[in-house]
Homo-oligomer: A and B are copies of this chain.
Amino acid sequence: MTGTDEQNYHIKEYHKFYTSTEPLVLKSGDSLSEFTLCYETHGILNGDSSNAILIFHALSGDSHIAKHHNDDHPGWWDVLVGPGKYIDTNTFFVICANTIGGCSGSTGPGNINPDSGRIYGSAFPDITIEDMAAAQKILIDYLGIKKLHAVIGGSMGGQLALSWGILFPDSAHRIVLLATSARLSSQALAFDIVGRNAIRHDQNFHDGEYALKGVVPKNGLAIARMIGHITYLSAEVMRDKFESSRHNPRDIDTSFEKNFSVGSYLSYQGEKFVERFDANSYITLTQALDSFDQGSTAEDIAGKLRNSGSKWLILSFSSDWLFTPEDSLKITEALILNHIPVSHHCIQSSAGHDAFLIENDSKQYGTLISNFLQPDSENNANCCNIEDTNTVLLPGRNDLSFFAQLIAPESSVLDLGSGNGELLACLKGKGATHIQGLDIDFEAISNCVKKDIPAISFDLANPLPFPDNHFDYVILSLTLQAVKNTEQILTEITRVGKQAVISIPNFAYYKLRKMFNDKGLAPVSPGILHYQWYNTPNIRFFSINDFEILCDTLNIRITKRYAFDTESAQTIDKEINSMADLAVYILGKAG
């Protein structure tokens, strides 16, 4: 750090600096002849350096991820990082560095260019997200950490974490991405471009050489920040924040319009930002963000991630329109294409892109991250004790041990409606090569992640995001009667799986039939069909025979059928359509 840098940036007692005097060769071919990273750490690095977690900040963040003590000023992720918190600094050694190109202690356009002795300004080279990650890899090497327990990042930080997984495929056990994408949408690009236009057309910008002129392009930078701020919030959260006070703006000291409460808020955010951020850094970082491009399709992205040796957790937020849930799903699909373990959940949130930084939804995303960083592994084979093939199914999902027997060891398996992951845990214990859970429910995903079972949240109303024959087995247990698109889901499971294993309730079970016939009332069964007609999740009512006729119509081959009376705990082999209340099938492609 030079004297000038210190003027620009207030150094705190907990700031650490690492300066590399080796040149950093950039992706463009250009290079930084030396660079400094300002970083902070929390917790203690253990003896074998195995507990380190590297966390990347977002566009306007810095190294101050969390408070170092009670009187410290707030960190940007105090919600998650600290002693006893979701990312527990009693256990983990957390590192967070200001990125190169930034303006909070690490080398950026506001620093002295050692080659010229003058402030970089417009001479600061174009850098990429990959360059930012590469600079931090040098820091991690310097700290003597061979393999990180995890790297984590959201938004631009998520792009760094994704780059880490691509560039250094064996240097992190686990990678967490929040609210990020493999490349920005055109809409998101557009907002960044307009922001840069505002900065560059500020009369004080002077083609980036404003420092030489002793001025600051404050107006342009504030306007860029205002645009950014709108995109970080959702329309819903803006309504909640500003509608009740719509016509009562705060009377703040600003050169910007302060009509409407939302106007005074934006002005305040703009004015505040220019006090702490450098315009050239803003341009440098947003250009890196915009040019980041790992492909537009899951296949493209999969090509980049082929060698990843990490486990992944990918989180998105339903109201995030800057980095959308679809963006996250695309990265998830890419990892699944490569048979790399990945969990994904879209958190239902009204908070927009900023959701990953604030407390509202932290119980959900914090729990998922915590479960992912510290899974239990002792549960992994506890359903496989019962090896008797005559085991009769019990109500609920206790059909697991039976299912487990139907599936060859060392197979790849997708479980649709995987619940808490018991079956997959069992199959994993039996040597499955690739397991993937899928469920719509947060608790299910969270419990799978806690068991170290990869699971993704997905609505079965949509076609499955997997290629043909991707899994040896696809499992659909007691779910067919609850989905509306019956034909689609049957076609999908036999497309995606070489084989499908499916269990169905039989609504022609003799007790139900008799009940309906005698009483003329929709049957309410004490067994697996225990709902009222008006509140049951079941919306398709069919018999074993109905199902088999449909399989025939859809050209799906029934390889094997097992039928049970779960009430009397018996296997049924005669008069199945009357006597069984549940059937299990192995389905294959039509010959």
Contact A262 B189 (CB under 8 A): yes
Which of chain A's residues 535-576 have a Cβ closer than 8 Å to chain B? 535, 539-546, 549-550
Instruction: Encode contact with B along A188-226: 1 for CB under 8 Å, 0 otherwise.
Output: 011101101110111100000000000000011011001
Contact A200 B545 (CB under 8 A): no
Using known A-B contacts A186-B239, A186-B241, A533-B540, determine if residue A257 contacts B193 with beta carbons closer than 8 Å: yes
In the complex the two chains form, what is the Cα distance from A260 to B292 in whole Å? Answer: 12
Stretch at the interface among A156-164, A358-366, A512-520: A512-520
Cross-chain pairs A/B with CB under 8 angstroms, 10 sampled: A186-B239, A189-B263, A190-B266, A193-B226, A197-B256, A235-B321, A507-B522, A520-B543, A521-B546, A522-B541
Q: CB-CB < 8 A to A542: which residues of B?
A: 522, 533-534
Q: CB-CB < 8 A to A227: which residues of B?
A: 194, 227
Contact B191 A257 (CB under 8 A): no
Which of chain A's residues 484-503 have a Cβ closer than 8 Å to chain B? 484, 486-487
- Confirm or deny: A16 has a beta carbon within 8 angstroms of a beta carbon on chain B: no
Contact A546 B533 (CB under 8 A): yes
- Confirm or deny: A242 has a beta carbon within 8 angstroms of a beta carbon on chain B: yes
Which of chain A's residues 277-326 have a Cβ closer than 8 Å to chain B? 287, 290, 293, 296, 321, 324
Instruction: Encode contact with B along A61-82: 1 for CB under 8 Å, 0 otherwise.
Output: 0000000000000000000000
In the complex the two chains form, what is the Cα distance from A84 to B413 in whole Å? Answer: 61
Q: CB-CB < 8 A to A261: which residues of B?
A: 186
Q: CB-CB < 8 A to A189: which residues of B?
A: 260, 262-263
In the complex the two chains form, what is the Cα distance from A203 to B202 in whole Å? Answer: 8
Contact B521 A487 (CB under 8 A): no
Contact B185 A197 (CB under 8 A): no
Contact B550 A235 (CB under 8 A): no
- Confirm or deny: A255 has a beta carbon within 8 angstroms of a beta carbon on chain B: yes
- Confirm or deny: A230 has a beta carbon within 8 angstroms of a beta carbon on chain B: yes
Nearest-neighbour CB distance to chain B for A205, whole angstroms, equals: 11
- Confirm or deny: A387 has a beta carbon within 8 angstroms of a beta carbon on chain B: no
In the complex the two chains form, what is the Cα distance from A242 to B190 in whole Å? Answer: 10
In the complex the two chains form, what is the Cα distance from A287 to B260 in whole Å? Answer: 11
Contact B290 A259 (CB under 8 A): yes
- Confirm or deny: A171 has a beta carbon within 8 angstroms of a beta carbon on chain B: no
- A201: nearest chain-B partner, CB-CB: B219
Q: CB-CB < 8 A to A487: which residues of B?
A: 534-535
Query: Contact check: which of B186, B191, B520, B549 meets A242 at CB < 8 Å?
Result: B186
In the complex the two chains form, what is the Cα distance from A550 to B533 in whole Å? Answer: 10
- Confirm or deny: A243 has a beta carbon within 8 angstroms of a beta carbon on chain B: yes
Contact A187 B535 (CB under 8 A): no
